[in-house]
Amino acid sequence: MRPAAYVPALTGFRALAALSVFLFHFPPVTAGGSAVFSVLHALFREGHVGVSLFFTLSGFLIARRYSQQHLAGPALRTYLFRRWARIYPVFFLVTTATFVFSKLYQNQDALRLYLVNITLLKGLLPNYAFTAVAQSWSLTTEECFYLLAPGLFWLGRRAAVRWWVGAALALALMGFLVYGVLFPTPESGFARFHFMLVVTIFGRSTEFLLGAAWALAPAGWLRRRATLLGALGVLVVGGGLAAIQLHFGKVSIDTPLGVAVNNLVLPAATGLLLYGLATEATRLQAVLSTKVFQVLGRASYCFYLLHMGFLHDFLLRWLPTGWPAALLYGLVLLLTVAASLALYYLVEQPVHRWLLSRGRPVAVAG
């Protein structure tokens, strides 16, 4: 597949991934009552797959833009600066606001907690990963992939993409060693390495790599059926994860089978869907390319950072408790979207443009 400057449908896809994570954290139905509600609750509680969708999309986009670039010297610095400029400013602002409004500065180890968070080391440390902006653990994993990507692309050009399998296995082995020796826990077996497999780049590199591999597939493959097959694959895998949850009585990624499906099978299907959205003219591509999805997709990063934390807690305190639960749920969602749009247009977009204008561009796409 030849690189393209911009694929609108992939921006719209980000909105779906962000909404999925929101539904995971705040399922609109409870598990009690009828079997239908139990199944619906299980489906919503598998909304964590939105993180996997983000990871696979990141691998797909980074490979499309940079896999054929020689990222060394000034080009490498430009690449790293642009990745930093894309993620860090809004993250820093929301993290700092969280420390203020959630009064985390009153903690005994507030300075250490703040430094671990703003340096994006938290996602590697079990005791800190879910502190402050809890969901921002994924940014550590994202940044780790950004750092690894130039070397992986070099390996793919010099040897072959199939060597990425070896890279993923090497990362997993390193993860087992690091978290088995440096961060030992009282648990044994799967529980001992659950954090490594679900949170860190050592366990989740496959999602980025499978997305990157699909980005390098030749256009026209599967005879214009990639979008349909990919969408069906994602839906089937999502249903399978919900079935795993119902069988074991816990969210799928808290089980070995669920982790395997989430980290290996889901990104394979997601990558196929992304490939289809980037190469085929379909109804789904048209819907995700509409203005509404474009706006929501651009603000999806802000939504992801804001949807759980001090803003959500404030809205629950501020809105009248006597209103119907469905109305309160809808208002919280809409107000979170509104705050995300404001944060994007007033902060993320202008700051990002300003930072890029201050940098010295090199011949590398951003």
Measured from the Cβ of residue 223, the count of other Cβ atoms closer than 10 Å reads 7
Give the pLDDT band (50/70/90) at residue 104: very high
The neighbour count for residue 206, using CB atoms within 10 Å, is 26
Average pLDDT, stretch 227-232?
97
Q: If pLDDT is split at 50, 70 and 90, which confidence band does 31 have?
A: confident
Q: What is the pLDDT of residue 133?
A: 98
pTM of the model: 0.95
Percent of the chain with pLDDT over 70: 96
Task: Give the separation between CA 274 and CA 279, rounded to whole angstroms.
Answer: 9
Q: How many CB atoms lie within 10 A of CB 321?
A: 8
Q: How much is the average pLDDT of 266-284?
A: 97
- Give me the phi and psi of 320, to 5 degrees please: -60, 130
Average per-residue pLDDT in the chain?
93
Report residue 210's pLDDT band, with 50, 70 and 90 as the boundaries: very high
| pLDDT greater than 90 at residue 207 | yes
pLDDT at 3: 47
DSSP string, 306-336: HSSSHHHHHHHHHS-TTS-HHHHHHHHHHHH
Question: pLDDT over 90 for what percent of the chain?
Answer: 85
Half-sphere exposure of 272 (CA within 13 A, CB side): 20
Phi and psi at 213, nearest 5°, equal -65, -40
Estimate to the nearest angstrom the gap between the alpha carbon of 123 and the chain centroid.
13
**Per residue in 105-159, pLDDT tens?**
999 999 999 999 999 999 999 999 999 999 999 999 999 999 999 999 999 988 8
The pLDDT of residue 364 is 43
Pairwise CA distance, residues 67 & 213, whole Å: 10
Q: What is d(CA 206, CA 82) in angstroms, rounded to the nearest whole number?
A: 23
Task: Give the pLDDT score at 5.
Answer: 61
DSSP label at residue 93? H
DSSP state of 347: I
Q: Which residue has the higher pLDDT, 336 or 358?
A: 336
pLDDT at 362 over 50: no
The pLDDT tens digits for 33-71 are 788 999 999 999 999 999 999 999 999 999 999 998 888
Residue 360: predicted pLDDT: 56
Band (209; pLDDT cuts 50, 70, 90): very high
Q: What mean pLDDT is predicted for residues 275-279?
A: 96
Q: Are 307 and 22 in contact (CB under 8 A)?
A: yes
Q: What's the pLDDT score for residue 366?
A: 42
Residue 215 pLDDT greater than 70, yes or no: yes
Which range is least confidently modeled, 275-289, 295-309, 351-365?
351-365
